[in-house]
Amino acid sequence: MFQKILIANRGEIALRIIRACREMGIGTVAIHSTADAEAMHVRMADESVCVGPPAARDSYLNVPAILTAAEITGADAVHPGLGFLAENSRFAQIIEDHGKVFIGPTPEQIEMLGDKIQAKRAAEAAGLPIVPGGVELIPDAIAAAAAAEAAGYPVLIKASAGGGGRGMQRVERAENLARAYEVASSEAEAAFGDGSVYVEKAIDRPRHIEVQVLADGKGHAIHLGERDCTVQRRFQKVIEEAPSPVLTPEERAMIGEHGAALARNINYRGAGTVEFLYAEGKFYFIEMNARLQVEHPVTELITGIDIVEQQIKIAAGEGLPLQQSDIEFRGHAIEARINAEDPERFIPSPGTVERYHPPGGSGVRVDSHMFQGAKVPPHYDSLVAKLIVYGVDREACRARMRRALHEYVIDGIVTNLPLHARIIDSQDFIDSAIDVVWLERWLNSQ
């Protein structure tokens, strides 16, 4: 097992990984920008190294500085967390070239899955149902028109290197296609440094259902069931739950097996998430995220498996002793992403936390780096906490979420706590009569 892990991240996810390391008896090194000198992940780690000024490109994305931090502290492995360098194959390769272990998939797997066209081809090869269209790179507007006709309108033009809900253009009819193609490819170039786009059928009012997988890198893979992440705003997840309230046991077993089959087929290593859209009883693969995911705790609560511990053990060469038959699902879990943002206009709200009181009690888990006096810098993601609750069933879980949201005090910054309280008590959420654009429709109708 590793002696010391450097965590190349910040915020709640850095804490999450530090906590796993501490429980496993592994030393930890935090990195931080000058804006985060007093941050909780720095306080909680055994050692810390400042890697640069506030802007992420100069600190949390500063590969030479992070590598130097790993060298001087003698870390034998690097956990990238999520976001930042987590899906950067060059970073994973550099870590390995310096004789350290990158806790994640191989650089080749990161590169392949980071290209959504290649990922769809791999999914298709593994027998997964994919969204119609989109296994070819679209070189120009003429090819885009042909692909759109083949897939059938409405279509989405998607950036092959896209992520975080960015890089998608919806096109309703043929006459709008050429212009949308130009916009999509130039935006993709600006946002991801890669203008490659593909065309996919826009599925009508789908749900987002994804499968958590674990794999040993040698062809053994299992799934930990699904998460339903249908409550989204601008293609970004707001609330996630497990299990999905709408799947039959047969659908659950089938989609889980599809996720594991993809991981097995590509000899995937580590933890990953296979994402699908679900509409009218059909699943459509959209992408695979080659990393830990923000919403992993809901799966941990219903399976009892510590996903970060599994990542670390696989990376350390201990393999994956778990078999599919070891995995049992119990109860229901819901996660609310608490962001430092205005709950009506969705404008980020950086600042200093004046008063802080997290909820507690039975079935409540708070993954957060907040404390009284904590600074929320304007430079990074606005996620300040994940409130995750467990209950014997969905209704018990919802009641607990309502109670926990009510207990939560975060003063000094504006958060979306009130929005979560409204969503979980809305009739559509209670009935789970929702789709990925439901939240926006519902907000407009209020």
Hey, which residues are catalytic here? 291
Q: Which stretch binds ligand ADP (CB under 6 A): 61-69, 260-268, 282-290, 311-319?
A: 282-290
Q: According to the 3-state scheme, what is the secondary structure of 201-213?
A: ECCCCCEEEEEEE
What count of other Cβ atoms lies within 10 Å of the Cβ of residue 304? Answer: 12
Q: Determine, following the binding rule CB under 6 A, whether residue 416 of this chain makes contact with ligand ADP.
A: no
Closer to Mg ion by Cβ: residue 115 or 275: 275
Note the helical H segments in 86-169: 89-97, 107-114, 116-125, 141-151
Residues 241-280 that bind ligand ADP (CB under 6 A): 275, 277
Q: Determine, following the binding rule CB under 6 A, whether residue 374 of this chain makes contact with ligand ADP.
A: no
Q: Determine, following the binding rule CB under 6 A, whether residue 202 of this chain makes contact with ligand ADP.
A: yes
Q: Are 224 and 303 in contact (CB under 8 A)?
A: yes
Q: How far is the CB of 164 from Mg ion (least distance, A)?
A: 8
Q: Are 115 and 160 in contact (CB under 8 A)?
A: yes
**Angle formed by the axes of helices 249-265 and 116-125, to 10°?**
110
Q: How far is the CB of 403 from ligand ADP (least distance, A)?
A: 25
Closer to Mg ion by Cβ: residue 28 or 232: 232
101 binds, among ligand ADP, Mg ion, none (CB under 5 to 8 A by kind): none
Q: How far is the CB of 323 from ligand ADP (least distance, A)?
A: 27
Contacts of 55 (CB under 8 A, 6+ apart): 33, 379
| Total residues in contact with ligand ADP, by rule CB under 6 A | 30
Q: How far is the CB of 105 from ligand ADP (least distance, A)?
A: 15
Residue with smallest beta-carbon separation from ligand ADP: 83
Contacts of 341 (CB under 8 A, 6+ apart): 347, 348, 349, 382, 414, 415, 416
Closest C-alpha to 231, from 15, 416, 16, 11? 416
202 binds, among Mg ion, ligand ADP, none (CB under 5 to 8 A by kind): ligand ADP
What count of other Cβ atoms lies within 10 Å of the Cβ of residue 146? Answer: 13
Q: Are 235 and 165 in contact (CB under 8 A)?
A: yes
| Total residues in contact with Mg ion, by rule CB under 5 A | 1
Q: Determine, following the binding rule CB under 6 A, whether residue 289 of this chain makes contact with ligand ADP.
A: yes
Closer to ligand ADP by Cβ: residue 287 or 300: 287
Dihedral angle over CA of 220, 298, 294, 95, nearest 10? -30
d(CA 282, CA 276): 10
**Coil vs helix vs strand at 79:** strand
DSSP labels, 205-247: S-EEEEEEEEEESSS-EEEEEEEEEEEEETTEEEEEEES-TT-
Q: How far is the CB of 102 from ligand ADP (least distance, A)?
A: 16
Residues 121-140 that bind ligand ADP (CB under 6 A): 131
Q: Determine, following the binding rule CB under 6 A, whether residue 341 of this chain makes contact with ligand ADP.
A: no
Which one of 8, 42, 213, 383 is in contact with ligand ADP (CB under 6 A)?
Answer: 383
Q: How far is the CB of 372 from Mg ion (least distance, A)?
A: 35
Sign of the torsion angle spanned by Cα atoms 325, 329, 334, 340: negative
Closer to ligand ADP by Cβ: residue 147 or 156: 156
Closer to ligand ADP by Cβ: residue 33 or 289: 289
Q: Determine, following the binding rule CB under 6 A, whether residue 80 of this chain makes contact with ligand ADP.
A: no
Q: Determine, following the binding rule CB under 6 A, whether residue 294 of this chain makes contact with ligand ADP.
A: yes
Q: How far is the CB of 392 from ligand ADP (least distance, A)?
A: 27
**Angle formed by the axes of helices 107-114 and 116-125, to 10°?**
100
Q: Which stretch binds Mg ion (CB under 5 A): 52-60, 78-86, 105-113, 273-281?
A: 273-281
**Coil vs helix vs strand at 285:** strand
Q: Determine, following the binding rule CB under 6 A, whether residue 340 of this chain makes contact with ligand ADP.
A: no
Which one of 208, 223, 264, 332 is in contact with ligand ADP (CB under 6 A)?
Answer: 208
d(CA 124, CA 422): 39
Which one of 203, 312, 315, 388 is in contact with ligand ADP (CB under 6 A)?
Answer: 203
- Where does this chain bind Mg ion (CB under 5 A)? 275
For binding to ligand ADP (CB under 6 A), which residues are involved?
A: 11, 13, 82-84, 131, 156, 162-165, 200-203, 206, 208, 232, 235, 237, 275, 277, 286-287, 289, 293-294, 381, 383, 436
